[in-house]
Structure 1
């Protein structure tokens, strides 16, 4: 493998690992938001922002941690036959099936970019009483999908290298 491809894989996987580890802490932020919601509803006036903010935090947790989850192999996989196959056959099947994932993520990014541009152009806001801007959460969705796309390309490169007898 050329050095620039190895460097690309290492940079992408290093970045996804770091962002994924940081995204883990969003779960604690989500817990704090929900805890505040419970306390405020019991003792004060119920806050208007906690439901949507918890949804936005969960989206960020899920999308920014997606590439990390892929990297660790924590994603859901149909294991009925996969575990019985040899590593070489798995790599061949993964090379074929990764294109479906790449196509799916490319469509999400393409549609998401249009949605982000629209949200930024018109200052799109939620229709709730709180009315937060939607551009930040849409940017996070597109960023997470881009990270998963890059991780999928790294998987493709690693599988091709494995079939050629090259180890990373």
Structure 2
């Protein structure tokens, strides 16, 4: 039994949800999202409460049960509150700036890294060493943050690079004579 899958999702006021076969559509004040559920799970909408039930007894059915519930919960949270990831840049001369629809990163290379901001994502740089990625789609926000971090991941000796806010970087001791 999936503990996550058993929990129901209450659709808040101002949000509309519709289930059409295996497609769940959610529309709210921040936008509209939809997800296609796998065949192993069935979804039901009654009195603004979405519930899920597996269509079998295997381990895969239970795993997909919890996954489906979480995906729909993320849709509801995304169209009401949205999601955001914060990144921190550390290193001498490392900085970021938003220029139009591009994010310009100076990360110690001989050239600036220019990252085109995808549709549905907002990127803000409150400080030159801080990046805030926000949007309504949790997967897309996480993917964009991971792509930005990948340009210069934090290194273990001096901690220079792009890291998530609050991320612990295991530090190594340098060479000794």
Higher strand share: 2
* Greater helix proportion: 1
Shorter-chain TM range is under 0.3
Larger CA Rg, structure 1 vs 2 = 2
TM-score, with normalisation over the residues of structure 1? Answer: 0.26
